[in-house]
Structure 1
C-alpha cells in the first residue's frame, strides 16, 4: 500500500516556512494503454509547497519520521510504569491519494 512521508529539510535564511520533500513509497504504477499518460504526481510539489516529490516502488524508511512517545512515571507502589504510544495511520494514505487523484481530475477537467 502506498505510503506518504514528509522529509523536513534544514531551513535557509530566506525560508518563510520549513522546507520539506514529499516522499511516496510502496507505489504501484497503474498499467496504462499505449498512449503515455502524465504522471499522477506532476505538479504536486508546486501545489503543496514542497521542494520535490520523490516516488519509489520500494519501501523507503525515514528515521526522522519515527514517532514514538514514551512516558515514564513512578507508581504509588514504587514501580516504574512505561507507556509507549505509536500512531495508527491505517487508511490515511488512501484518503490522501484519493484527494490527490480528485484534485488532478478537477485540474484536467478545468483545463479542457
Structure 2
C-alpha cells in the first residue's frame, strides 16, 4: 500500500510557510494510455499543486525520511507499571498502582 510522506525543504527568505515535497513510496506503477486526442494529466502532480507542495516524488521503492521516523514513540522507552495481585482485590490493587504513579511519575522509569 502506498505511503504519503512529507520532505521538508529549507526555508527561503520569501517563504510564508515551510516548503515541502510530497513523497509517495511503495506505490504500484500506473499505466496510462496516451492518445493523440487526450491530454496527459498526472494525478500526483495535480495533488501536489493542490496542497502547496513544491513537487512530488512517486516510486515503488521504500523511502525512509529520518525526520518522519516515529519508532521512538513505539513502546520500549515508555515506563511500565507492573501490578502484582498476590491474592489482593483487583480494584484496590489497580487503584493503589494508579495512585503510586500519580505520586511518583518517575517510578516506572527506575
Q: In structure 2, do the counterparts of structure 1 residues 71 and 26 end up closer, same or farther at CA, with 3 Å as the change threshold?
A: same
Q: Which runs of 5 or more residues in structure 1 are unaligned?
A: 82-112
TM-score, normalization by structure 1: 0.57
Structure showing the higher helix proportion among its residues: 2
State the partner residue of 1:24.
24
Considering only aligned residues, what root-mean-square deviation do their CA atoms show, in Å?
Answer: 2.4
TM-score, normalization by structure 2: 0.58
Tell me by how many angstroms 1:21 deviates. Answer: 0.5
Decide which structure has the larger Cα Rg and report it. Answer: 2
Q: Which runs of 5 or more residues in structure 2 are unaligned?
A: 80-104
Alignment map for 1:1-112 (pairs within 5 Å):
1-32=1-32, 35=35, 38-67=41-70, 68-69=72-73, 74-75=106-107, 80=109
Count the aligned residue pairs. 78
